[in-house]
Structures are given as C-alpha cells and as structure tokens.
C-alpha cells in the first residue's frame, strides 16, 4: 500500500529549538500535505506541497519534498509550547489520500 | 465563518447497534470527507461526498455508509457495530472536490465507543 511512514514517532525538544519531522512514502504522488492535531481534536492543515515543488515556507514552518527519495520533511523553527501536538503527512495520488502514522511532538518549557 | 461542526461529540453504543453521525461543513464548502482515527490504524479515509454524490470511497466494509444533503451537510452511518469500530470519526470540508488536492478543514470529531 502507499502508506506513509513518519520518523520519529515521538520527539521532545526544548522550547526555542527547531523540530524536524520526516515522512517517507512508497509510490509516486501528486502532492503531500502536512497537518497538525492537538490532543484528540480535529486536524489543522499546515502546508500543501506539489510534486513539482521542492520547498515551501509558511511562517515558522518549512516543508521540503524530495520525490527521488520519496520523502518529505517538516521543520518547525523556534518552537513554542503551543506547537506541542501530533503532526501528520498526507499523501495524494489519483485523488486518494493516505495519512502517515504521525509524529508526536512535545515542547519542553 | 463558523467552522466544521460535528454532532454528537461523544457517543457510546453496544455491539450490534447502529449509529448516525452528522457533519455540517463550512458555509460554501461543497465537499465533505470522512475519516476514522484509531490508535492502531491511524487515520483512514472513509469516503468523500461532493454535490450529494459519493466521489470516492476507502477500504471499509459496507456497514459504513454515508450521504450528503443539498445543503452540503453530511451524515455517516455505521450498522451492526463491532468493538473495532470504536474510534474518533473526523469530518472535513473543502471548497471543491478532491480532498487530496485542496485544503481541508476538519471538525472536532465524534468519539464513538462501542461496548
């Protein structure tokens, strides 16, 4: 299947540090999205990156996509307590969407 | 604009019963998608509706069904509930068809517990 794998499964960093999460997938995609989910709640869309794009920025977020390696990364700079959440990548191909298992990010005060 | 709303927020049912969950999309959004989230399987796509028609369906048994009304509100139904159906059911809306192509706005979810 085209399920994505995210790495690491969990990450704890000090407030102010940068956090990097990775997502790998198995087959070609049309685009990849990143979402954030606060404990047991709905998802919030962060960034969509298309297969012909290599990098996108949104505020403190930077997403890269390497289609040759079938991987994407999400970088959160200058982390804040409010960034504590689970982060999911979602891959789209032929109008199918597959979510990764997610990375649980915990920002330590 | 009001966000995506889902009702009820919490639900407890017993095996064999059926359940109906409701989702009201953001005003003007015509696409509604449903997802099931469990600790073991993660987030899995159930189906997508656009203009009252099911446009896409995930790999779930026929016990899972849905519909969309002319005002874009959507319902999903699960019949003959099993313990494994316990999950957080998330609804998402977007302006146009294709949940992988457009930004989706998620509701808070309905937490279903099957006893």
Q: pLDDT in tens for each of the 115 residues of chain B?
A: 689 999 999 999 999 999 999 999 999 999 999 999 999 889 999 999 999 999 989 999 999 999 999 999 999 999 999 999 999 999 999 987 766 677 889 999 999 999 9
Across the interface, of B55, B98, B106, the residue whose CB is closest to A43 is B106
What does the angle CA B24 – CA B35 – CA B1 come to, to the nearest 5 degrees? 30
3-state SS assignment for residue A41: coil
pLDDT, average across residues A11-21: 97
Closest residue, chain A, to B89 (C-alpha) = A42
Question: How many other CB atoms are found less than 10 A from the CB of residue B94?
Answer: 23
3-state SS assignment for residue B27: coil
- Give the span between the Cα atoms of A32 and A5, in whole angstroms: 13
Instruction: Please state which CATH number belongs to domain A5-108.
Output: 2.60.40.10
Domain ranges of chain A: 5-108
| Tokens matching residue A5 | 């794998």
Which residues of B touch chain A, with CB atoms under 8 Å apart?
4, 35, 42-45, 55-56, 88, 90, 92, 98-101, 103-109, 111
Give the CA-trace dihedral at B51, B53, B59, B61, to 10 degrees. 130
- Give the span between the Cα atoms of A103 and A54, in whole angstroms: 21
Percent pLDDT > 90 in chain A is 77
> Which of A17, A29, A14 has its CA nearest to residue A89?
A29
């Amino acid at each position: 299947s085209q399920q994505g794998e995210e790495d690491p499964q969990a990450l704890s960093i000090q407030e102010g540090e940068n956090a990097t999460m990775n997502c790998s997938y198995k087959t070609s995609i049309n685009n990849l999205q990143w979402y954030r989910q606060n404990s047991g709640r709905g998802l919030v869309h962060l960034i969509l990156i298309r297969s012909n794009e290599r990098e996108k920025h949104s505020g403190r977020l930077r997403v890269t996509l390497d289609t040759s390696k079938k991987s994407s990364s999400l970088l959160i700079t200058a982390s804040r307590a409010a960034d504590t959440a689970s982060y999911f990548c979602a891959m789209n191909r032929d109008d199918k969407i597959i979510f990764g298992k997610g990375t649980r990010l915990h920002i330590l005060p | 604009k009001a966000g995506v709303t889902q009702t009820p927020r919490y639900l407890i049912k017993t095996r064999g019963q059926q359940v109906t969950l409701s989702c009201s999309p953001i005003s003007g959004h015509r696409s509604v998608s449903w997802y099931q989230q469990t600790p073991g399987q993660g987030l899995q796509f159930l189906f997508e509706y656009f203009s009252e028609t099911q446009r896409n369906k995930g790999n779930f048994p026929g016990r899972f069904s849905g519909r969309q009304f002319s005002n874009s509100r959507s319902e999903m139904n699960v019949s003959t509930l099993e313990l494994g159906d316990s999950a957080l059911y998330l609804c998402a809306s977007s302006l146009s068809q294709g949940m992988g192509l457009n930004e989706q706005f998620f509701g808070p979810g309905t937490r279903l517990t099957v006893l």
